[in-house]
Structure 1
Amino acid sequence: MRAPDWLTRRPVAHRGLHDAARGIIENMPAAAHAAVAGNFAIECDIQLTADGEAMVHHDDKLGRLTAGSGPLLTKTAAELKAVKFKDTAEQIMTLGDLCTLVAGRVPLVVEVKSHFDGDRKLVRRMAEVLSSYSGPVVGMSFDPDQVLALREIMPNLPRGITAQRTYDDSSWTKLTQAQRDSMLYLRHGFSTEPHFVAFWVNQLPAPAPWIARNIFGCPLLAWTVRTADQRERAARYADQMIFEGFVPGT
């Protein structure tokens, strides 16, 4: 299977087309509406709830952008759907809510968030939701095991790996050295068989995504593009960008 052509046709709005200055927060319904209006694909994150639902939210805890506190994994979908984004009237969506809102009008790029514990319930729920969705969609994850789950549970869904050149920054201290090493150089590629790669723009160029793109034909997305320099780097080394903080073409 090849990655779909639409994946690189238009820039991808990171967590929707959000703009805090206008009261539009990442991953909330207004950000999805704005991306649809701009004809941009939507990158979004999903997290697992206590009762096995897929919620559209980047952080694994409440509080940074929302009311409330505590891990999403300890709360039910009903509890989380009642949570509002700060200083807005909007509430957290399920993946099913997002699919209903978008209704196939723009592509979805769904990042499966992981606790790196081998739990595949989130991918199973994603598969259930997407089984009745006919719009363009792909899945991806930083966790190679979740990409493998995408391959095994949804073999007909195009899948990608989200990656970077090194994993020594503070975001990855929760993982063991062995887990971090397993993510290096896309070395899991022969088992996960990704159809595309999403790579940290600040670490491009890099050998592994170059090989994936030029030898194996995997389209390369650059994340997350915010500045003019990053945009130039993405244009030079990748096939498309995942962007935020500006509107391409304006």
Structure 2
Amino acid sequence: MTAQPTSSSAPDWLTARPIAHRGLHDIAVGIVENSPSAADAAVEAGYAIECDVQLTLDEDAVVFHDFDLDRLTSETGTIASRTSKDVQSIAYRTGSDTIMSLSTLLARLAGRTPLICEIKSRFDGDVRLADRVMSLVRRYNGPVAIKSFDPAVIAHLRGQSPAPLGIVAEARYDDPEWSGLSDGLKLELEQMLHFGETRPDFLSYRVGDLPHAVPYLCRTALGMPVMTWTVRRPDQHLLSRLWADQIVFEGFRP
């Protein structure tokens, strides 16, 4: 038996539309994740957009998921070792798009659909990317939210952000990608022991971990909106309807 969420001060637009994971991408037709074409396709279809941002050598924010260029482009090395101008000249292996900056994406959207921006982090205390994102968000006239796996990023922005702030989380941090985190930090993330510092406006939770006490209590006891990622199958979509307020999806159109 599920309970309905209580009232929340989070804006209604945050969960009003399904959220296209890294834009409405489809590599089969040449539309790459986080690309201008993926953003345009999401807007045309009436979806909100989730994007990822990385920090360049000259401290700009560019729209790209990985720390390294290798998976999606013919270039090698890290985003952090290139200037923004250099990164934005790099084409994807598929399609005709090049990597775009966050400022380019915001100008392209012009407030037409909500944007949920995920700040990528190495959990090393570096908040330069968060500061760059915030400088752009303050000047943007449209619906935008910020989220991160790293509670230090959200705690840093708390009190200075005009945009809703969210935590991205999952039930366990035993995947090899989290091997660099201490056991203490993993426990803090699993149990949301950072709540007093981050005070998130919303939660973005892994669909494979639903149902779970953390998102359940956030929704029912705190009235916090919960979006769930990444929904790729009908059974996951059904699960999300029971335990979350909106989906971050890819691979189909809800």
TM more than 0.5: yes
Candidates 131, 142, 151, aligned match of 2:138: 131
Structure number with higher relative contact order (C-alpha < 8 Å, ≥ 6 residues apart) = 2
> What does the per-residue CA deviation read over 1:204-239, in whole Å, with 9 as the maximum and x for residues that have no partner?
111111111111110010100000111111011101
Secondary structure of the 1:61 match is: coil
**Which of 220, 223, 229 does residue 217 from structure 1 map onto?**
223
The list of structure 1 runs, each at least 4 consecutive aligned residues, that deviate by more than 3 angstroms after superposition, is: none
1:188 maps to 2:205: no
The reply to whether residue 110 of structure 1 matches residue 117 of structure 2 is yes
User: Is 1:141 aligned to 2:141, yes or no?
Assistant: no
Which moves more between the two structures, 59-68 or 27-36?
59-68
Which residue in the other structure is 1:175 paired with? 181
2:242 to 200, 211, 236: 236
Q: Is 1:73 aligned to residue 80 of structure 2?
A: yes
Alignment of 1:1-250 (within 5 A): 2-154=9-161, 156-248=162-254
- TM-score normalised by the chain length of structure 2: 0.95
Describe the SS at the equivalent of 2:252: coil
Residue 176 of structure 1: how far off its partner (Å): 2.1
Structure 2: give runs of 5+ residues left out of the alignment.
1-7
What 5-or-longer segments of structure 1 have no aligned partner?
none
Give the distance between the partners of 1:153 and 1:44, measured in 2 at CA: 21
Normalising by structure 1, we get a TM-score of 0.96
Q: Kindly, what percent of the aligned residue pairs are identical?
A: 43
Counterpart of 1:181, as a letter, is: L
* Contact 1:150–1:157, Cα closer than 8 Å, also in 2: no
Match of 2:247, SS state, is: strand
Check whether the contact 2:57–2:84 (CA below 8 A) recurs between aligned residues.
yes
Number of equivalences: 247
